[in-house]
Structure formats: C-alpha cells, structure tokens
Chains A and B, each alone.
Chain A
Amino acid sequence: MNNNKVIQVEGLTKMFGDFTAVNAITFDVKKGEIFGFLGANGAGKTTAMKMLIGISNPTSGKAKVAGFDVFTHAEDIKKNIGYMSQKFALYDDLTVKENITFFGGIYGLSRKRIKEKSTVLIEELGLEKVANKLVGSLPLGWKQKLSFSVSLLHDPKIVFLDEPTGGVDPITRRQFWEMIYKAADQGTTVFVTTHYMDEAEYCDRVSIMVDGKIEALDTPKKLKEQFNAETMNNVFLKLARG
C-alpha cells in the first residue's frame, strides 16, 4: 500500500432503491493535496463525500480513508478527519468560544489545549471582538471561516469541505482559500467540493462528476488541454452538457 495515498476509492457505489447516486467511482487522493471534487447539483458529490466520512454506508465498492476501511472502521476514520458541511452546522445559540470549546471537547482535546487553540484561532480569524457573541449573529462569511477552523481543531489528516464558499462574497472567498492553502501547507489533505470554477483552478487536482460517475480527473492544466478549453468553466460546461 502506498502510504502517500490518504484516500483510496475503488468502484464505490451508492444506490437509493433503483437510483444509482454514485456509480462505481475510483480515485486516489495524495497526502497534502488539495483535491477538487466538482459536479453539477445532483451529480452525487455530497453522497460520495458522506460515504467517505463514514456517515453513509456504501452499497458496494472499496474505500479507505486515512488508512481505515469505510465499511469496517468508520469510527476510526472520524478521529482523523474534519468535516464542514454545506449547511452551516455550528450552534447558532452558542458563542464563538463555546462552539470551539464544545467541538474541541467532543474530539477529546484537553481543557488546556482547547484554551490555547481557541485563543490562536480567534486571533487568526480576527474574531476577538465577537468571541463572546452568539454565532447566530455573525455574518455568513465569518461563520464559514469559523466553521472551517473548527473542523481543523483536532489537527485532522484530511479535511472534507462541502461547498464551503456557497453564498460568500468574493473577498471572503479569497480569504477562505488562503486558509485552505495554509492548512495544505501544514500537511493537511483538503478534499473540497465547489460550484465555482475559478476555485477549481486553485486545486492541485480536480475530478468532475456527471450523473454519479467521475468523467474527468487530472490537474486543472491538463484538463484544459484535454478538453481544449481556456478555462475550467468551459471544461465543466463541455462535460456537464455531455
């Protein structure tokens, strides 16, 4: 086994009754890579991701995440990954600090470590003034950045981001990608889904899902060459329109 590969997927399939949401997808993600997981709405991105993070049982196929099998060791995977869902999933009725403390706590961080982490994190995000405010009162962009930071609290090997920049302004998106790069620099593998094709350009490698299948997988540069397109946007349009 190649230790460099933190995600190995082979023929992973998910069926809901007769409907095949994810159709035998196969790919690898290397350590420290920023892996873009693209696809139109309903292409099966979120379903695939849910299987990888151990909250949805695959129908068939093989998948290993952080060295653990998704069928048998889903709970071990969870210790090694962070996840940020497309729906904001911190507690609106807790303050910034309380959210950090809570998630740090359930990941088993010590009180001391949580304190340190939250001080650093709040400072980095520039949230000092609102640290004791309810998260529900923050603007969406701030929430998303906080959410990302919280998913990195326990220093996971891989972080899964499901459309992290949906509905966020361009400046905040920029800042968000800076955070992603920083995390990748520190050795965290980033698995990210997005609709924004300019963001796809920032990824090391990109896969494009169409109707449950992965139709293309390579670096943005090579994909553009392969499809004879100027931008990732055109690559995506060519693929998605069939």
Chain B
Amino acid sequence: MKTILYIIQKEFKQIFRNKGMLPIIFVLPLLQLVILSNAATFEVKHIKFGYIDNDHTSTSRALVEKFKASTYFDVLTDFPSEALASSAMLKGEVDVVLEIPHYFERDLQKEKYNTLGVTINAIDGAAAGVENVYVTQIVQRFNQNLKVELLQVSDQQIQPITIETIPLFWYNETLNYKTFMVPGILVLLVTMITLFLSGMNIVREKEIGTLEQINVTPIKKSQFIIGKLFPFWVIGMGLLTIGLILAKLIFNVPMLGSLPLMYLYTSIYILVILGIGLFISNFTETQQQAMFIAWFFTVIFILMSGLFTPIESMPKWAQLFTEFNPIKYFVEVMRMVMLKGSGFMDILPQLLKTLLYAITMNGLAVWSYKKIT
C-alpha cells in the first residue's frame, strides 16, 4: 500500500510539472466542449434557397413570401431560368431550388391542383431529407390557406377537413441540439484524455528507460499498475466535474438524475478506458505507436457510439459490434441520467456490462504487463 502511494505521489508530481501537458489535459478538452457543442449540430438552418418564378402572379409571390418568412431559409436569388439555377447549384451557391411553373395561379384555380418542382442538393443525404420536410411543410401550410380561400369563394358550407399532429418532444422539449450533444461530448473528452494519457504514460517510461529500472525492483505488478493508473482516474473524474459544471453554466443542460449515480458509473467507466490504455502500452514500444493505436480505437468507438448517428439505424452486424463499445454505454448513461433522470435500476444493465468490461480489460492489462521478458 505504501509503495502505491509513492508511485501516485511521483505521477502527480510529474503530471503537474509538465508544463506542456497541463493545458492539454485541462484546457483543450474544455475548449473542445464549448466549441464542439456549439458547432457539431445536425440542425439544418440557413438553407440557401433559390426560386424560379415562371408565373409572376400574386399566388406565386405569396408562396415565395412564405419561404422568405421561414427562419430556416435564407432566400438568395430569384433565378430567371432553370439553367442559371442549375449552374448556381453546381457552384454550391444554392441548396434548394423551387420552380413555380407557368400559369401556376390560373391552373390552380381552374383545376384545384398543381405541381411544383423542387431540386435539392443531396450530397449530404440527411440534410437533404430535412430540407425536403421543411419545403413540404411550408407548401402544405400554403396549400391549406389556399384551400380555405378557395372554399370560401365557392361554397361556405363545406368545412375543410384537416388532421394535424401535435408532437410532444419528451426529455428535450425544445429540441435543443446542445442538450443532446453536450453530454455526449463530455463523454468524448473524458474518454480521449484518459485513454491517451494512460496509454502513453507507461510507454513513455519504456522509451526513457525508467521502466527497466522499475522492473528490477521488487515492486509487484499490481502495485505499479494501480499507482500508475490512479492519478489518471482522478484526472478523468476531475474532467467530468469541470465538464458538468460548464454544461450547467454555459449550456444550461438539465441534470435530472442523481449526480452520485453519474459519478458511480463514470468511476467504473474510466477503469475500462485505463485498462485499454495500459493494454495498448504493453504491446507498443514507442509513444507514436501507442498514439496511433489509441486513435484507431477512439475513432471507431466514437463513430459507433450512437453519439452522432443512432445505433438503431446501423446494420445488424454493426449493432452487435457496438455491444463491445464502452463509449456507447457511457453516452447512453450520460443522456439517460442527465436528460431523463434515470435511476440506478434503469442504468443497471449498462453498469453491469461496464463493470464486466473493466474487470476483463484490467485483467488483460495486468496479465500482459511483463516484468520479465
């Protein structure tokens, strides 16, 4: 036990003495939190909108007005011809082009029916889908007004029948994207920092030769590893704390669940990450190698964590794979506890899986750490 304390003391001294690393540990992640949470958004806003009005009537102008009134569209141009609109889209000056046909108003009144042409830049398929929905909504609303007007003219007895859905957005009522992203990004920075630090730390001692010096002492493997990893565990918990405070202060993300539960889960989660880091460092000889391998895993884990894309929409094999992704569980728990106020029993499955993961990884790490080669 005393031996472990000596190692912990040494590690902390080295961490806080390293003027280059300190900002990387504490400042960069928090900048990341602030910047990414604001920037990494799937909300589609400021859509570059153009239109070709072949009709030039009050109805067609009224339709265009609807788009101008929408907060989602930045109405850019009135294209005189389809060719000009196409070339603008090619240059990326416009994302959505609405084409109002000739005799739009006349045909609408005569035949009570007409079609509009909409062209959407679909390089980003997800954004294109959202843009399509916005366009449809605006056209539908316009349609209804029109119907009412037309009906009022022709027959005042018949009421238009409309079915409207009124969505209630639970757990994130205002559909605030930041509320969704902040807990996830908090997960990222806790994970990345602890993984990189622990992965590189032991390799670094290998590189400078001090590990050999440690290996000729009678120190026990477990003592050394606990002493080595504990400081990073503390740093991970510290990052979580600072992150949670910022989430509350800057983004006003709700914290519905219990904080102790959050900390309980994170304390186990960080053990998983430290175990992985140590495991990597046991199989690498230089910090670069460790860095690349750690990076490889982080990228896969992050992209398959459900942080940016829903796991439900992944193919079956990929969904199966995410079962082995610790970040997935952390993202789930973070969002459940913070946004839904989930309790201990709700996150128990994730907690148990993470615990099992922690035991496995650290077992492997201790096993693969060899004092004798």
Contacts and interface: CB of A to CB of B under 8 A. Distances in A.
Contacts of B17: 93
Interface string A135-168: 0000000000000000000000000000000000
Interface string A82-96: 010101111111100
A105 B212 contact: no
Given A55-B371, A105-B2, A106-B7, A78 B210 contact: no
Interface residues of A, number: 29
B57 interface: no
Interface in B8-52: 9-10, 13-14, 17-18
A91 B210 contact: yes
A78 B217 contact: yes
Nearest to A87: B209
B6 interface: yes
A144 B214 CA distance: 17
Interface in A62-120: 74-76, 78-79, 81, 83, 85, 87-94, 98, 101-103, 105-108
A97 B149 CA distance: 90
B373 A75 contact: no
B197 to A, nearest CB: 15
B310 interface: no
A83 B214 CA distance: 10
A74 B372 contact: yes
A105 B6 contact: yes
Contact of B217 (A91, A98, A103): A103
B372 A102 contact: no
15 contacts: A55-B371, A55-B373, A56-B373, A57-B373, A75-B218, A76-B218, A85-B209, A89-B208, A89-B212, A102-B6, A102-B9, A103-B213, A106-B6, A106-B217, A108-B2
A54 interface: yes
Given A55-B372, A57-B373, A74-B372, A83 B213 contact: yes
B87 interface: no
B18 A93 contact: yes
Given A94-B10, A102-B6, 12 more contacts: A54-B216, A56-B372, A57-B372, A78-B217, A79-B218, A85-B209, A87-B209, A89-B208, A93-B17, A102-B10, A105-B6, A108-B2
A53 interface: yes
A196 B138 CA distance: 89
Nearest to A89: B213
A93 B14 CA distance: 6
A236 to B, nearest CB: 27
A108 B371 CA distance: 18
A54 B372 contact: yes
B81 interface: no
Contacts of A56: 372-373
Contacts of A79: 218
Given A88-B209, A105-B3, A55 B216 contact: yes
Contacts of A85: 209, 212-213
Nearest to B213: A89
B3 A108 contact: yes
Nearest to A86: B209
A90 B7 CA distance: 14
In the A-B complex, the 9 residue pairs with the smallest Cβ-Cβ separation, listed nearest first, are: A105-B6, A89-B213, A87-B209, A83-B216, A78-B218, A79-B218, A89-B209, A55-B215, A102-B10
Contacts of A76: 218
B108 interface: no
Contacts of A90: 210, 213
A85 B210 CA distance: 9
B13 A94 contact: yes
A89 to B, nearest CB: 4
B76 interface: no
A56 B215 CA distance: 10
B216 A106 contact: no
Counting chain B CB atoms within 10 Å of each CB, the highest count among A57, A74, A79, A89 belongs to: A89
Nearest to A95: B13
Contacts of B13: 93-94, 98
A73 B372 CA distance: 12
Nearest to B224: A106
B223 to A, nearest CB: 8
Contacts of B14: 91, 93-94
Interface string B61-80: 00000000000000000000
A55 B212 CA distance: 8
B219 interface: yes
B357 to A, nearest CB: 30
A108 B3 CA distance: 7
A101 B2 CA distance: 12
Contacts of A89: 208-210, 212-213
Nearest to A160: B216
Interface string B192-223: 00000000000000001110111111110000
Nearest to B3: A106
Interface in B338-373: 371-373
B208 to A, nearest CB: 8
Contacts of B2: 105, 108
A79 B218 CA distance: 5
Contacts of A75: 218, 371
A129 B140 CA distance: 84
A95 B155 CA distance: 94
A94 B371 CA distance: 23
B372 A106 contact: no
Nearest to A104: B6
Nearest to B216: A83
A78 B9 CA distance: 23
